[in-house]
Amino acid sequence: MRIDVITLFPEFIESCAGIGVVGRAQERGLLEVVTCNPRDFATDNHRTVDGRPFGGGPGMLMTIAPLRDALDRVRQASTEPARVIYLSPQGARLTQEKVVELARMDRVILLCGRYEGVDERVLENLVDEELSIGDYVLSGGELAAAIVIDAIGRLQDGALNDAQSAEQDSFAGGLLDCPHYTRPVSDDLGEVPEVLLSGDHAMIRRWRRKQALGRTWLRRPDLLTRVELDAESRTLLDEFRRDYRAAEN
C-alpha cells in the first residue's frame, strides 16, 4: 500500500511513519509513506501557500493552486486511483471499521490542513472524503494524519497477523480489552488474579470475557448498545454486575 501525505510539515509525518510497527512495514516493503509539500509548488518569492478569507474574519486559509499542483504530482506517481482524504474537524469520525476499509486500498492520499483550513473549492472538487479523529481542537491535520497512518500501517504488517486477527475479532465484538498481568505474581502493588495461574484455559477464557464485558459496561456503555450478546455473554455480564454491586456494599 502507498500513502501520500500532502503537508506543510513533511518531517513530522516522516518521523512518525519511520518508527515501530509502521516503520517495519515500510522496511519490509509492505507500506510506502510519501510526503509532498505544497510549499514546493508556490510560485512567488515568499513561497506563499495561504490567503486571507473573503468576507473577512480571523486567520488564513490554504490557497487552491499549491494544493492542486501537489495533488496532481502525487497522482502522477501511479495510474492507480487513489482516495483523497482531507483531515478536518468537520469530517466523519474515524473508526476501526473505517481504518480496515482504508487498509484494504492500494493508495490513499491524505491532505493536511494548516491555518483555518483550505478553500472550500478544494473540498468540493478534489477531495473524496473528510475525516476527523475526535471532538477536540488541533492546530492542523498532521497529527490526525499520523494517527490514520499508524492505524492503517499496523494492519499492513504481516508479522502482526496472529495477535491482530484476534484483536480484530474483539473489535468486531466491539468490547474493551480485559486486564493483563505479567511477572511477578506477587508485588507491593498487588497479586495476579488466581484464575490466570490455574492453567484451566476454559476458566481463563471465561474470566477474560467477563472482565471485557464488565469494563465495557462500566467505562463505555455506549459500545454495549451496539453489540449483540450471546447467552453466555449475558450470563457473564450479569455475574460481573452482581460481583460489582456486592463489592460496592
80 annotated active-site? no
81 annotated active-site? no
Q: Which of 171, 21, 2 is nearest to 96 (CA)?
A: 171
Please, what is the minimum distance in Å from the beta carbon of residue 58 to ligand 9D3?
A: 7
Between 114 and 210, CB nearer to ligand 9D3? 114
89 annotated active-site? yes
- Which residues contact ligand 9D3 by CB under 6 A? 87-89, 113, 116-117, 132-134, 136-141, 144
Catalytic residue among 124, 135, 169, 222: 169
Distance CA 31, CA 17 (A): 10
116 annotated active-site? yes
Catalytic residue among 97, 116, 232, 243: 116
Please, what is the minimum distance in Å from the beta carbon of residue 90 to ligand 9D3?
A: 9
Catalytic residue among 32, 73, 83, 89: 89
What is the SS3 assignment for the chain? CEEEEECCCHHHHHHHHCCHHHHHHHHCCCCEEEEECHHHHCCCCCCCCEECCCCCCCCCEECHHHHHHHHHHHHCCCCCCCEEEEEEEEEEECCHHHHHHHHCCCEEEEEECCCCCECHHHHHHHCCEEEECCCCCCCCCHHHHHHHHHHHHHHHCHHHHHHHHHHHHHHHCCCCCCCCCCCCCEECCEECCHHHHCCCHHHHHHHHHHHHHHHHHHHCHHHHCCCCCCHHHHHHHHHHHHHHHHHHC
The residues annotated with a catalytic role in the active site are 89, 116, 154, 169
